[in-house]
Structure 1
Amino acid sequence: MNPTNVPANSSPPGEPTAWPNVVVIIPFYNGADFIERSVKSVFEQSVPAHEVIVVNDGSRPEERAALDGLAARYPFRILDKENGGQGSARNAGVAASTSEYICFLDQDDFYLPNHIETLVSSIPADDRLFGYIYADLYEADGDGNVIRTGVIKDHAQHPKRSIFDLLRYDMFVLPSATLVSRKAFDAVGGFDSQFMGYEDDDLFLRIFRKGYSNHFVDKAVTVWCIHTASTSFGIRMVRSRFKYFKKLVQMFPDEHQRGRYYLREYLMPRFQLFFVNEAIEAIKKDDQYRGEMTAVLDDYAAIVFANPYVGRKKKLRLWITLFLLRRSTPGMVRFIGALTKLPGIRSLRKVYKS
């Protein structure tokens, strides 16, 4: 522990340096299989949280009952609300808390023992526009078995220094490995509750644009558990990704005079492959959401076709992809997918993946 690094305003003048108040907020939705592991990790911290709030986001009654039994053993507060997604649940938790700093924890993740201590002690004492600080994490399966001991440096630049990088790439700033200033959180209005996926990227991008700082600690503080029931999978993520794409298109119109073409240079390279591949997979598997996923691709294409700064070749490739998919059966898509893997068919592969 290094209390000399704790922010200078964390205790009154003349008194010994103290750790600032931190709240941990855990959104809970039908997560009885995981929640005890998460809660236990919070109460095993080397520096305790001042507040711990579990926000029940409209879980089934039998799942909600698991929280009561857990609360008898751990002193956390339960906040009940109608289902609205993780962003909405996190906002409700923040609104019900008073702490200066905010930590989030997804119900299926868990903290390493020095999570709070590491993040709080790394806040620069002279940063008057402190926004958030984040760290690396372990990747694990749903049972918590570790797969990798470092994740985020393989995927993006850290800390965040350019809006162009925030638009071109997924941010890989995970709420479960982040400590946020309440001042910055309130300044941008918290999470955008329309999203059930990408709400974290949206929040941290808005904090960046507001002029608040961000800092990165090259050390794992959280275990990030990935499994097919997590919010990274499913139709909700598809819907939310497209909503986020549309929000970014509106937030960042092209600036021809400054030579900044946000759709062409940043948003298309980031999102197009997702939309195309999700439609392809839905057709291939004859998924129940096939119509919705192909409609998302159609709507995406309409935005691209209407943009005067996207080149003809890019538009043509996308048009050919749409033409083929609209006429494809599951068997045809599987055949085309296999065909494009053969040596020497690079042009067809290029069309298929554009």
Structure 2
Amino acid sequence: MNALPETSAARSATWPTVVVVIPFYNGADFIERSVRSVFAQSVPASEVIVVNDGSRPEERAALDGLAARYPFRILDKENGGQGSARNAGVAASTADCICFLDQDDFYLPNHIETLVSSIPPDDRLFGFVYADLYEADGDGNIVRTGVVKEHAQHPKRNILDLLRHDMFVLPSAALVSREAFEAVGGFDSQFMGFEDDDLFLRIFRKGYSNHFVDKAVTVWCIHTASTSFGIRMVRSRFKYFKKLTQMFPDEHQRGRYWFRECLVPRFQPYFVNHAIESIKNDDQYRAEMSAILAEYAAMVLANPYVGRKKKLRLRLTVFLLEHSSPALVRFIGALTRMPGIRALRRLYA
């Protein structure tokens, strides 16, 4: 066990070991910045593992050059997405606590120290501690200095809030106890997006604690090549929606209508808008986005607790989108931005 810095020693008698796991997939343009930030920590990690998730050979070769300058371990695996890469990294480590870092993000210098020193010393069911982030562009230029606290509620206390909204617990700004991570089986590898919401929801449901630090510890770099964008995120959102409907069936006897009151308000705007954008652009995913919306609509129409008006409106929306040309959808989109007739947009949202 390493000694805490003097400023933190009074807050905790022991220093848990910490592993940093970085999933890597064709990210040679960013990985050095991420790795450098890990080795510049005010309190060092006990282990650092970069998981190569089936990158191209030339991208994988970049890791060897980087490992010659920084003492991290490389773990190779077939491509399976961030969740499976993180699981592999955790399985190959032994530390008490786990920090994650996406390849295109980077830590602020006190990331580990801030999170570990925020673990309550008497918390026998410690699950995770998480903090805020700076938002930046792909080059690391800061856009804003607070992201997490502007969304959702912190820390996590109510399952209604966790289901109604994205959780905004980002792995790159969190520290998770190994006990809690292993108790829920780690990340669900079927997801390539929303695997973080799913993990922290399950840890919460298992009875482990969570703690929020109102301070940025990570720089979150958002750009069009990041995993926050793309078709895989859209597909994962629908998979996650379906998983939640199975995890939280309506409880009529207790007056808890999870589907109607939490899941429909949260997810429906996304599914409708994905279909609208694909039709408007007439892109290669048009049929898939329309199929997702149709499957979603069938689930809503089959639910006995969703009101008739909402069902009718959704049925009309699906019908209109199925029978509209890209030009018509673009025309209606432009038309409904005009004052006085914005209400027409509700047919498409």
Task: Pick the TM interval, shorter chain.
Answer: over 0.9
Q: State how far apart, in whole Å, the 2-side matches of 1:50 and 1:325 are.
A: 54
The reply on whether 1:258 has 2:264 as its aligned counterpart is: no
Q: 1:331 is matched with which residue?
A: 327
Q: State how far apart, in whole Å, the 1-side matches of 2:338 and 2:309 are.
A: 24
Q: Deviations along 1:125-155, whole A, 9 cap, x unmatched?
A: 0100000000000000000000000111111
Counterparts of 1:51-62 in structure 2, within 5 Å, are: 51-62=47-58
The reply on whether 1:115 has 2:111 as its aligned counterpart is: yes
The reply on whether 1:4 has 2:3 as its aligned counterpart is: no
The structure 1 segments of at least 4 consecutive aligned residues displaced by more than 4 Å after TM superposition are none
Counterparts of 1:3-152 in structure 2, within 5 Å, are: 3-6=9-12, 8=13, 10=14, 19-152=15-148
Q: 2:286 is matched with which residue?
A: 290
Contact residue 187 and residue 195 of structure 2 kept, 8 A = yes
From 196, 209, 232, the equivalent of 1:236 is 232
Cα distance, 1:339 vs structure 2: 1.2
**Corresponding residue SS for 2:207:** coil
Give, as a single letter, the amino acid of the residue that structure 1 aligns with 2:201: L
From 171, 188, 197, the equivalent of 1:192 is 188
From 291, 298, 302, the equivalent of 2:298 is 302
Q: State how far apart, in whole Å, the 1-side matches of 2:52 and 2:9 are.
A: 35
Q: State how far apart, in whole Å, the 2-side matches of 1:321 and 1:228 are.
A: 29
Q: Deviations along 1:246-300, whole A, 9 cap, x unmatched?
A: 0000000001111111111000111000000011000111111111111111111
The reply on whether 1:274 has 2:282 as its aligned counterpart is: no
Q: 1:13 is matched with which residue?
A: none
Cα distance, 1:350 vs structure 2: 1.8
Cα distance, 1:203 vs structure 2: 0.2
Q: Deviations along 1:149-206, whole A, 9 cap, x unmatched?
A: 0111111100000011000000000000000000000000000000000000000000
Unaligned runs of at least 5 residues, structure 1: 11-18
Cα distance, 1:328 vs structure 2: 1.2
Contact residue 276 and residue 348 of structure 2 kept, 8 A = no
**Corresponding residue SS for 1:186:** helix
Q: State how far apart, in whole Å, the 2-side matches of 1:349 and 1:312 are.
A: 20
Cα distance, 1:3 vs structure 2: 1.3
From 157, 161, 165, the equivalent of 2:157 is 161
Q: 1:16 is matched with which residue?
A: none
Given the two structures, how large is their TM-score scaled by the length of structure 1? 0.96
Unaligned runs of at least 5 residues, structure 2: 1-6
Cα distance, 1:347 vs structure 2: 3.4
Q: State how far apart, in whole Å, the 2-side matches of 1:28 and 1:211 are.
A: 31
Q: State how far apart, in whole Å, the 2-side matches of 1:135 and 1:184 are.
A: 18
Give, as a single letter, the amino acid of the residue that structure 2 aligns with 1:168: R
**Corresponding residue SS for 2:10:** helix
Aligned residues with identical type, % of pairs: 83
Q: State how far apart, in whole Å, the 2-side matches of 1:280 and 1:119 are.
A: 41
Q: How many residues align?
A: 343
Cα distance, 1:343 vs structure 2: 1.6
Q: 1:215 is matched with which residue?
A: 211
Given the two structures, how large is their TM-score scaled by the length of structure 2? 0.97
Q: 1:14 is matched with which residue?
A: none
